[in-house]
Amino acid sequence: MRINDALELVVQACRRSVGAGLTVAVLSAGVLSAQTAPERPKILGLSHFAIFAHDFDRSRKFYGDFLGFDEVFPLKNPDGTPSMTFYKINDHQYIELFPEKTPNSDRLNHISFETDNIEALRLYLASKGVKVPSQLKPGRIGNLAFNITDPAGHTVEMVQYMPTGETMRNYGKHMSPNGVSKHMTHVGIIVSDLDPEYRFYTEVLGFKETWRGSSSGTVLSWINLKTPDSDDYVELMLSRPEPEPTKRGTAHHLCLVVPDVSSTVAKLKTSPYMKDYGKEIEVRTGKNRKRQANLFDPDGTRTEVMEPTTIDGKPTPPSTALPPQ
């Protein structure tokens, strides 16, 4: 039954009762509001993970030479110094690298999600009380994007790749055969106050919980929230109190999916960069029962390489532990 037909039946019933005029007015306003409220457009998955680097050139070697991604769209400041650069994982996902603004600070700049209708998303978020810009302007590489702030204080960028932007103009290009992975499956962000953060991602953005885990077995450590229109997800890294800004690199992380972690690590160990890396790379099985290994850039920001399935192909039961208090 259509909304208008249902409303007419309710109105007719109300007219037979006392106070029908007020009841009809309230019902009519509610239905009209439901009809005109902006709908959330698609959130297509992770776009990029953006971080600061203390030594910009050293970090460029880590993501370019070691992880094997092509560096694209480097941007400069008016004085010719580096402003930022991009490392292409696939046609829709990037790692963005920025020179640090303040030493000994949090390395996370922002996380980003792709949408298919940036203006509709702006209007939708505004209707939910989220602070958004009054209008959209193309960014430096030609895409439309805007930033919001989640309850934990993280900057979250929403972006739509435009036909004239560099992302779409270079579609299918700069896909290095040496790249350690072809897909960024999740990013991790630190959360100390779970409830508002959880409500924001699930109730406002439409993410869905898929798993939660505990490193200790007694206190909850992670909650995975899947984007509405892809299998990409955000991993809420629960910590109370939050780590010091210089000790957040393990929690603030990106994850790259690989078919076989052992083979990936073996290949990485043959890289000339290993003598500069200077750390052991350990293959282990995580609490989610997926094989994985951790890599750390010169600032300690973690890149996790992980297999897509558990060691036996069976789902790992979620933890029942309570969040940190």
pLDDT tens per residue across span 191-242: 999 999 999 999 999 999 999 999 999 999 999 999 999 999 999 999 999 9
Phi, psi of 165, deg, nearest 5: -80, 165
For residue 142, the tally of other CB atoms under 10 A from its CB is: 16
**Nearest C-alpha neighbor of 253 from the set 243, 267, 261, 263:** 243
**What's the domain range around 27?**
3-31
Both 23 and 106 in a single domain?
no
d(CA 111, CA 105): 17
CA distance 295 to 58: 15
- At residue 14, does pLDDT exceed 90? no
Digit-coded pLDDT (tens) for 155-203: 999 999 999 999 999 999 999 999 999 999 999 999 999 999 999 999 9
Same domain, 143 and 286: yes
pLDDT at 309: 98
In this structure, what DSSP letter does residue 71 have?
E
Residue-averaged pLDDT of the chain: 91
Asked whether residue 319 is domain-assigned, the answer is no
- pLDDT greater than 90 at residue 7: no
pLDDT digits (tens, 9 = 90+) for 272-284: 999 999 999 999 9
121 pLDDT band, cuts 50/70/90, is very high
pLDDT digits (tens, 9 = 90+) for 258-307: 999 999 999 999 999 999 999 999 999 999 999 999 999 999 999 999 99
User: In the prediction, which pLDDT does 286 show?
Assistant: 97
pLDDT at 215: 95
Burial class (CB in 10 A: 0-12, 13-18, 19+), 48: buried
| Residue 202 belongs to some domain of the structure | yes
pLDDT of the residue at 73: 95
Check whether residue 23 and residue 88 sit in a common domain. Answer: no
Asked if pLDDT for residue 20 goes beyond 80, the answer is no
Same domain, 154 and 257: yes
The dihedral region occupied by 269, where left means phi > 0, alpha psi between -120 and 50, and beta the remainder, is alpha
Do 130 and 228 lie in a common domain? yes
CA distance 209 to 225: 4
H-run or E-run covering 159: strand 155-160
pLDDT of residue 35: 56
Q: What value does the mean pLDDT take over residues 11-18?
A: 43
Domain check: are 21 and 168 in the same one? Answer: no
User: Is the residue at 51 inside a domain?
Assistant: yes
Chain centre distance of CA 202:
13
Query: 135 and 210: one domain?
Result: yes
Total domain count for the chain?
Answer: 2
CATH number of the domain where residue 229 is located:
3.10.180.10
The pLDDT value recorded for residue 6 is 42
Do the Cβ atoms of 322 and 273 come closer than 8 Å? no
Q: Are residues 166 and 189 in the same domain?
A: yes
Does 139 lie in the same domain as 11? no
Rounded mean pLDDT of 303-314?
A: 98
Answer yes or no: are the C-beta atoms of 136 and 144 closer than 8 Å.
Answer: yes
Q: Does residue 321 form part of some domain?
A: no
Domain match, 9 and 91 both: no
230 within some domain: yes
Do 269 and 202 belong together in one domain?
yes
Cα separation of 124 and 130, whole Å? 9
Q: What pLDDT does residue 1 have?
A: 41
pLDDT at 27 over 90: no
Tokens 């949408």 locate to 115
Alpha-carbon torsion angle 266, 270, 271, 275, nearest 10: 110
Judge whether 16 lies within some domain. yes
Do 27 and 52 belong to one domain?
no
The model's pTM is: 0.88
| Per-residue pLDDT at 36 | 74
In a domain, 322, yes or no: no
Residue 38 maps to a domain: no
